[in-house]
Amino acid sequence: MTARRIATLLVASWALAATASAHPLSPTLLELKQRDDTGVFEVAWKTSVLRVPGSDLQPKLPGHCRALDAMTAIEEEGSLRRKWSIDCGERGVLDSEIGFSGLGPAKIDGLVRVELSSGRIVRGVVRSTEPTLTVPTADDTGSVFLDYLRLGFDHILGGLDHLLFVFGLLLLVEGTGPLIKTITSFTVGHSITLSLAALGLVRYPTRPIELIIALSVFLLAVELTRQQRKRPSMMRRWPWVVAMGFGLLHGLGFAGALAEVGLPHGEIPVALFSFNVGIELGQLAFVFVILALQRLMHAVVTSIPRWAEMIPLYAMGSLAAFWCFERLAAVLAG
């Protein structure tokens, strides 16, 4: 077996271990919307119904703000949304810290969105190391760029379905030139639909797209398990065309993640560009790790049995099939 197939075994084992050890939890979202020109804000706090046992996640609001009414809870699909109102007086929320406590034990990130009566929107990503953000008096382009760059980078590295598809492309294509062409086609494809969807030029149902993304991973796994034939399949003859087509669908999946936090008022081009760059950096980091692993394995192991070669490919296909059934059930239930 070639070194790249041996690397397959290791990466597939990592993928299954990651899936078995933890269910990916959605980030928590805290939204504040100012009512007219007063110091009153409508607060909405959205969390996943799944949580780490023993964690105590709580929103962190400015100390000078007081609650005006009791919190009401609305259960949505897979999430819980809580709503209430606060009065922050003449000070408002500018130069104040907003975020969460308990992000570390909850093992998730947080998204903060503040909409002022002027129409200005402040958004940011908070983590256990930086659990709050300070609402600036004016948008900081540099801060927006770094926040959305990090958001895109984290999203692609946390998206096992996207990574497995890229991983499958690495196994499908032989040669450096065709590999670069194929990965570039995938990048162009998802960049196009990500931009169009994020700008509201394309509207689509999220659940069917997630189902098709899982199906793309399954079809790629099936192709990798097939023996070489006299007349190669379209996927092997024109892998860059297939990568472009599925890339368009994966871009819609990326746009769904971006929709959770939205784009900052007045900084839309910067945020959209940096989010896309973050995705590409994460994708490149993953590709470089796989290629480095292949080189390392080539120096250590020369061959293993054919049956062992098939294990990771069937594991990849089985995981993708599970996602297909899981997401199909969500589509039918919706």
CATH, range 28-139: 2.60.40
Whether the predicted pLDDT of 320 surpasses 70: yes
Residue reference for tokens 């929709």: 259
Tell me what the pLDDT averaged over the chain comes to.
80
Phi, psi of 263 (to 5 degrees): -115, 140
CA–CA distance, 103 with 59 (Å, rounded to integer): 10
Query: Nearest 10 degrees: CA dihedral of 171, 172, 177, 180?
Result: -70
Output the pLDDT for position 140. 60
Single-letter code of the amino acid located at 11: V
- 268: confidence class by pLDDT, cuts 50, 70, 90: confident
CA–CA distance, 75 with 116 (Å, rounded to integer): 26
Output the pLDDT for position 26. 66
Output the pLDDT for position 8. 54
| Residues in Cβ contact with 109 at an 8 Å cutoff, skipping those fewer than 6 apart | 27, 28, 103, 125, 126, 127, 154
Predicted TM-score (pTM) of this structure: 0.67
State the DSSP string of 66-121. EE-S--EEEEETTEEEEEEEEE-GGGTTTT-EEEEE-HHHHT--EEEEEE-TTS-E
Q: Quick: pLDDT tens for 153-212.
A: 877 877 788 888 888 888 888 888 888 888 889 889 988 988 888 777 877 777 888 888
Q: Quick: pLDDT tens for 2-58.
A: 545 555 555 555 554 554 443 345 678 899 999 888 899 999 998 877 677 778 899
Query: Looking at residue 285, what DSSP letter applies?
Result: H
CA–CA distance, 87 with 110 (Å, rounded to integer): 23
Q: Where do the structural domains in the chain lie, given as residue ranges?
A: 3-23+159-333, 28-139
